[in-house]
Amino acid sequence: MRLFEYTALQIKEKIISGEIRPVDLTKQFIEQIKNIDPHVQAYLSIHEDEALKKAAQIQKKIENAENVGFLAGVPIAIKDNICTKGLHTTCASKILRNFIPPYDACVVKRLKEEDAIILGKTNLDEFAMGSSTENSGYKITRNPWNPEYVPGGSSGGSAAAVAADLSIMALGSDTGGSVRQPAALCGVVGVKPTYGRVSRFGLIAFGSSLDQIGTFTRDVKDAALLLQVIAGHDFHDSTSMPVPVPDYLREIDAGVRGLRIGIPKEYFSAGLNEDVHNALKNVLRKYEQLGANVIDISLPHTEYAVAVYYIVANAEASSNLARYDGVRYGYRASKSNGIVDMYCRTRSEGFGNEVKRRIMLGNYALSSGYYDAYYLKASRVRNLIKGDFDGAFQKVDCIICPTSPVPGFKIGERAKNPLEMYLSDIYTIPANLAGIPGISLPCGFSKEGLPIGMQILGKHFEEKKLLQIAYAFERETDFHRKKPVLKFSLTQK
């Protein structure tokens, strides 16, 4: 087995035992990135010198018999909307082309403290606004399973990096499905924690009441390991909850016998791809074989989720992105006639079309005379959606449903139809509106050989139970062990 095919838990054990040297492992990953990423386009920047320096420090610790961190020597990639001190953080936007943060995000600080090796920053839809990673200001990331297809979004670079063996783990952000949906489309495991479980300090804001940093890994145990490191209260983030973090790996093999699994009828209606539907039927049969009870439930306000999300998220985005004015940092238009013209030119030239579309929609929803009709009403319906989940979890222990209504779609297929693109997140958005945790893991393949993901949703702060339920399925199947065959035409860029 090549070094970059091990799981994080395996790598950690082999590094501590001396079987693998961190420097050798890091060099192999950097070489893999140089060979493969020109075709996948998962990374926006590679931090070779910093990664090798960190690897050498870990190696010295081991040689001196010093204690090493929880992720000793494990290579990881970071979505480029998460601040990294001294390293470019662009949000895949031209308006932040040369921005270098003076501080680390809380999650990055915790990764460094636990001796993870940061390989680089991954591509995304600009400011995390998109479902395909086609909206980046720099490049289009391709799905490692088929380079003609999207990897999902907005964290498509992170998902593709893990799927293509360009990193063992990765961080992303999930505002309406931006971890879970690309995880499903790339055949990896993606976790969106409860809102407040992981600090958002240093995550460049899109929708502040919806954003949450999440994880990408190859299997469920690695997901538990990474979440263990980044979870926990942070006084820098007022929305971070002072809730104890359990040991996620302990009792992960508890099984599902006697568990009540809810199946929402609204998630299995018209518009669900046949291959996805069949894969989920097989999932439910497997859980029944393992002793779980499958119960039909209803989440009646699901049909309003997409509309509510694109009012709330865009309203918050328009406020959050007002700071990019060309005055304090970031891109500034070179020629302008006065400060107002400079603002207009800077934002027109610096933002991409999707970001500008969402800013305008958000400003409209918040404008005088429309606030009550749009934002206030959407906030009230959001509470109804949360109430649906609260009621459901009185009857069931978790909810299982598709992550995405379709497997990956072709690059350019939905680029000119924003509404069709927005519907890509129809099954993931409700969890963000309700603030509950969710996990996506591989559960099958389409006729075209593209991965299909299942989604497990749970009560607030019950990530441990979700990981147990996910692991019960994973250890009985081999979908997570399947790898894309990385065959690229020399003409693809």
Domain extents in the chain: 3-261+394-481, 303-380
3-class secondary structure, 157: helix
How many Cβ atoms are within 10 Å of 87's Cβ, its own excluded? Answer: 18
3-class secondary structure, 409: coil
Q: Which of 93, 132, 178, 404 is catalytic?
A: 178
Residues 6+ positions from 487 with CB-CB distance below 8 Å: none
Is there a catalytic annotation at residue 269?
no
Q: Which of 382, 390, 385 is nearest to 312 (CA)?
A: 382
**Cα-based angle 186, 192, 196 (whole degrees, multiple of 5):** 160
Phi, psi dihedrals of residue 187, rounded to the nearest 5°? 75, 35
Is there a catalytic annotation at residue 178?
yes
Is there a catalytic annotation at residue 154?
yes
Q: Which of 12, 54, 79, 221 is catalytic?
A: 79
Class of the 3-261+394-481 domain? alpha beta
| Residue 172 near residue 53, CB atoms below 8 Å | no
The contacts found for 416-421 with CB under 8 angstroms, 24 or more apart, are 418/354, 418/357, 421/130, 421/131, 421/132
The alpha-helical segments, DSSP class H, found in 141-186 are 156-163, 180-186
**Is 143 exposed, middle or buried (CB count within 10 Å of its CB: 0-12, 13-18, 19+)?**
buried
Q: What is the pLDDT along the chain (493 residues), one digit of tens a residue?
A: 577 789 999 999 999 999 999 999 999 999 999 999 999 999 999 999 999 999 999 999 999 999 999 999 999 999 999 999 999 999 999 999 999 999 999 999 999 999 999 999 999 999 999 999 999 999 999 999 999 999 999 999 999 999 999 999 999 999 999 999 999 999 999 999 999 999 999 999 999 999 999 999 999 999 999 999 999 999 999 999 999 999 999 999 999 999 999 999 999 988 899 999 999 999 999 999 999 999 999 999 999 999 999 999 999 999 999 999 999 888 999 888 999 999 999 999 999 999 999 999 999 999 988 888 999 999 999 999 999 999 999 999 999 999 999 999 999 999 888 888 888 899 999 999 999 999 999 999 999 999 999 999 999 999 999 999 999 999 999 999 999 988 664 334 3
Question: pTM of the predicted model, to two decimals?
Answer: 0.97
Q: Which of 45, 93, 132, 154 is catalytic?
A: 154
